[in-house]
Amino acid sequence: MTRLPRRAALIGAGALPLAAPGLARAQASRLRLTLDWAFQSPNAFALVAREKGYFREANIDVQIDRGQGSGGVPPALISGSHDMGYADINPAIRFVAQNPDAGLLCVAVLHDRAPLCAIVRADGPIREPKDLEGKRLAAPDFDAGRQLFPAFARAAGVDASKVTFLSVSPALREPMLVRREADGITGFVTTSALALRGIGMDLPAQRTMMYYDHGLNLYGGAILTTRAYAQRNPAVVRGAVSALIRGFRDTISDPQGMIRTLRQVEPLTDATLELARHELNMERVVITPHVRAQGISAVDMGRMQTGIQAVEGAFNLPQRVQASAFYTEEFLPPADQRRI
């Protein structure tokens, strides 16, 4: 995995023996952090970390901005509009494969699984992935579940050429399934399952096929930065990763506290909906046997490399991204501070 130059690490450790003890502390480092989407329960850990003062304890003055989708986070980091970001790791892998010299770096993995899924009617004829052949799936063109469907199909033994995708706007995806104008949909379980419930198709009426249950075991939400920023600001990256993981652990142990923080920032938050989203996220994406045993961001590099190759294959990209160059554990807090 990636190791940064020793000089950068020494600077970040505070190798300034002649500085006045209180001077560096008084001048907090500015950090611009972008999230993947609007403020919701899956990314509220960043708000919790800020409101509880975890960034301040690390001498970081943080600005947290909502995002416009995981795919927009890597360009924001490379352009310099933001210093660090939180996003689904798979669009980031695609970005690195397409821009190998950009220097995108993953410094922590928070979601042990990706929320990618296909959802069909529980009372319908589709009972397993193979049954999707000859059927119609609705999804926006940019939907991650749709884009990675070829990799899912290969893993699940589905002939993707026999599956028809209907291109729809995000607002029309779930209604298409409810109105039986599509046989299924693809998306994130934390979005589509709850959207379906909100328009009359409750969870028991849905049959959800998680991609990871059928051979495509990708990682999910991750903390990203650039190699250049990490080399210039190792102490900031280390402090921010620690703060974010503390906030993440707090959302696991105190969901109601997370909801209160979310409502302070977004007063129009639907607390019931966001709590349900949080519970679904924990159940399907975050809390796995591996995480219970090893803690957060205990990355299996072989599994990550396999996931990278699956993403490259799904987009017909050359296989050139190495997990050891893309992911580093250098900025993680000690293992005991990542237990849940």
Dihedral Cα 122, 124, 127, 129, nearest 10 deg: -110
pLDDT of 147: 87
Q: Is residue 292 part of a domain?
A: yes
Q: Are residues 197 and 91 in the same domain?
A: no
pLDDT of 69: 86
Q: Are residues 181 and 287 in the same domain?
A: no
Beta strands in 17-153 (DSSP E): 29-34, 60-65, 84-88, 104-109, 116-121, 136-139
Q: Are residues 325 and 185 in the same domain?
A: no
Q: Are residues 54 and 182 in the same domain?
A: no
Q: Total domain count for the chain?
A: 2
Q: Is residue 287 part of a domain?
A: yes
pLDDT along the chain (340 residues), means of 10: 53 43 68 96 98 98 94 95 97 95 97 97 98 97 90 96 96 97 97 96 98 97 98 98 98 98 96 97 98 98 97 92 98 97
Q: Are residues 259 and 310 in the same domain?
A: yes
> Domain end: 167, 189, 214, which one?
214
Sheet strands side by side (includes 221-226): 60-65, 29-34, 84-88, 221-226, 104-109
> Domain end: 153, 186, 214, which one?
214
> Domain end: 169, 199, 214, which one?
214
pLDDT of 6: 46
Q: Are residues 176 and 85 in the same domain?
A: no
Six token digits for residue 304: 């990550």
Q: Is residue 1 part of a domain?
A: no
What is the span of the domain harbouring residue 161?
116-214
Q: Provide the residue type at 51 as one letter.
A: E
CATH number at residue 164: 3.40.190.10
The phi and psi torsions of 80 (rounded to 5 degrees) equal 90, 5
d(CA 191, CA 157): 26
Q: pTM of the predicted model, to two decimals?
A: 0.89
Q: Is residue 279 part of a domain?
A: yes
Q: Are residues 207 and 230 in the same domain?
A: no
Beta strands in 89-239 (DSSP E): 104-109, 116-121, 136-139, 164-167, 184-188, 206-210, 221-226
Q: Is residue 177 part of a domain?
A: yes
pLDDT of 1: 65
Strands 84-88 and 104-109: unpaired
Q: Are residues 195 and 99 in the same domain?
A: no
Q: Is residue 43 part of a domain?
A: yes
pLDDT of 191: 93
Q: Are residues 175 and 210 in the same domain?
A: yes
Per-residue pLDDT tens over the stretch 107-130: 999 999 999 999 999 999 999 999
Q: Are residues 105 and 239 in the same domain?
A: yes
45 and 243 Cβ atoms separated by less than 8 Å: no
Per-residue pLDDT tens over the stretch 21-72: 444 455 999 999 999 989 999 999 999 999 999 999 999 999 999 998 898 9
Angstrom CA distances, 172 to 140, 178, 179, stand at 9, 10, 10
User: Alpha carbon 107 to chain centroid distance?
Assistant: 12
Q: Are residues 327 and 194 in the same domain?
A: no
Q: Are residues 101 and 135 in the same domain?
A: no
The phi and psi torsions of 107 (rounded to 5 degrees) equal -115, -5
